[in-house]
Structure 1
Amino acid sequence: MKPITLLDTLGVALPAANVDTDQLIPARFMKEPRSVGYGQFLLYDVRHDEQGQRVSNVMLNHPMASQAEVMVSRRNFGAGSSREAAVYALVDDGFRCVVAPSFGDIFASNAVNNGLLPAVVTEEAAEQLLQALAEAPAPIVVDLEAQHIRVGELSVPFSVSAVWRTKLLNGWDDIDMTRQHLEKIDAFAAHYEQQFPWVAPVPPSAEIISRG
């Protein structure tokens, strides 16, 4: 995954609470392979009318929104089902961070595993950021090292799990995190085998002596 340290980009507002995974990517699009690009399906029913035409007054359809890498929303973002495709849709559409007062637990975990930062702010801070982005997508800076977000003169802190922060700063997945402890793992395995040699697996080529 691509590490995140400082995002100096555009932010876009999605002023809605309880944006669930079925809204993020409606189930009817999940039959498509991801190779087609799930970004085109992101919030499809919010961004399009019943005839499939783009709704002009939706901020995500603003001409500059395609350049935004940060989305700001309200509480309980990513609630609902555990579909990881909701994260794929955001990532494939170019987003690297979602800012909200709270997230669905499974969504947040899926987000980090796909290099998407779920930045938690207070309700008040979320409203301030939404107000700052109300007219159009605007420059925003998300500093993961300092855990601060800036839009113009507005600066607010955000929180994220220390483990998730480490993963995102380094672009690590769970396997990469485990690899950071290889020396300790190898030392434990060697010590454990000395204590309990009978638990060591027998190689397939080893001769098995039957006890008649």
Structure 2
Amino acid sequence: MEKFTTLTGVAAPMPLVNIDTDMIIPKQFLKTIKRSGLGVNLFDEMRYDDQGREIPDFVLNQPAYRNAQILVTGDNFGCGSSREHAPWALLDFGIRCVISTSFADIFYNNCFKNGILPVALPQEQVDVLMEDARKGENARISVDLENQTVTSADGQVFSFELDPFKKHCLLNGLDDIGLTLEKVSAIDAFEQQAQQSRPWV
């Protein structure tokens, strides 16, 4: 998993509340177990019409936001089903950070397992960043995981809370497999000891 340390990039404004995982990646795209290739279907029903043509008004179809790396969203982002395809699709599109006032628990935890930083901030601070995001590609937002800050385009700095373990995992690019591999020496030692003490197993 790619490490997350700092990020400065274009933020796309999505002020809708209760954006659920079916809106993020509709159910017909859940057949794959690959983490790549889902970015094209991110927000599929909002991005495309019935003929598969882009809807020009949708934010990620607008030229200023096609390379957005940050989403500034409404409350309760990622609610609905527990599908891990939702963070897969966001990451494959290029989104590394989502800023909201709150997140659904399962989605929030799945983000950390896939290299995405979800940042929860008070409504008034999200409003400032939403206004920044509406300015387009010239207004870039900066996120510093080590210092747990988000800096607006005009230099306002907002601090966010984060579980130390989740922070450690993101800073070091550790998903569940990576965490297990950190203990590989202890696992090998245990297996050797078990083999000697219980050779019949």
Q: Same fold (TM over 0.5)?
A: yes
Alpha-carbon separation, structure 2, partners of 1:16 and 1:25: 16
1:136-186 deviations in whole A, cap 9, x for unaligned? 243111000111111222322222221111100111123444565678x68
In the other structure, the counterpart of 1:134 is: 134
Listed as ranges, the matches of 1:1-16 within 5 Å are: 1-16=1-16
Answer yes or no: is the 8 Å Cα contact 1:62–1:136 preserved in 2: no
Taking structure 1 as reference, are residues 148 and 35 closer, same or farther at Cα in structure 2, changes over 3 Å only?
closer
Which residue of structure 1 aligns with residue 75 of structure 2?
A: 75
Structure 1 residue 127: deviation in Å? 1.3
Letter of the 2:105 counterpart:
D
SS of equivalent to 2:136: coil
Any stretches of 5+ residues in structure 1 without a counterpart?
Answer: 206-212
Equivalent residue letter for 1:144: L
User: Percent of pairs identical after alignment?
Assistant: 36
Cα offsets for 1:58-78 (capped at 9, x unmatched): 211111323221111121111
Query: SS where residue 34 of structure 1 aligns?
Result: coil
Aligned residues: 197
* Counterparts of 1:174 and 1:34, CA distance in 2: 17
Aligned to 1:52: 52
* Letter matched to residue 91 of structure 1: L
Which residue of 1 is the match for residue 20 of structure 2? 20
Alpha-carbon distance change, 82 to 201 in structure 1, aligned in 2, over 3 angstroms: farther
| Structure 2: 5+ residue stretches without partners | none
SS of the residue corresponding to residue 66 of structure 2 reads helix
Contact kept, 8 Å, 2:10 with 2:136, in 1: the verdict is no
- Cα distance between partner residues in 2 of 1:34 and 1:97: 21
> Which of structures 1 and 2 has the bigger CA Rg?
1
| Structure 1 stretches of 4+ moved >6 Å | none
Q: For residues 136 and 153 of structure 2, what CA distance do their matches in structure 1 show?
A: 13
The answer as to whether partners of 2:36 and 2:92 remain within 8 angstroms in 1 is: no
Which is further off, 81-90 or 43-52?
Answer: 43-52
More displaced 10-residue stretch of structure 1: 29-38 or 70-79: 29-38
Distance 1:201 1:79, change over 3 A: farther
- What's the secondary structure of 1:167's corresponding residue? helix
User: 1:164, 1:120 → 2: CA distance?
Assistant: 14
Distance 2:27 2:184 in 1: 40
Cross-structure match for 2:151: 150
- Per-residue CA deviations over 1:28-47 (Å, capped at 9, x if unaligned) read 12224637600001001111
SS at match of 2:127: helix
User: Secondary structure of the equivalent of 1:95?
Assistant: coil
Provide the residue aligned with 1:170 in structure 2. 172
Q: Deviations over 1:1-26 (max 9, x none)?
A: 11111102221111111110000000
With over 3 angstroms needed to count, the CA separation of the structure-2 counterparts of 1:126 and 1:51, relative to structure 1, is same
Q: Structure 1 length as normaliser, TM-score?
A: 0.82
One-letter amino acid of the counterpart of residue 159, structure 1:
E
Alignment-mate amino acid for residue 203 of structure 1 = P
- Post-superposition shift, 1:204? 3.8
**Contact 1:100–1:121 at 8 Å: present in 2 too?**
yes
> Which moved further from structure 2: 157-166 or 13-22?
157-166
Match of 1:210 in 2: none
Q: TM-score, normalised by structure 2?
A: 0.86
Counterpart check, 1:202 vs 2:195:
no
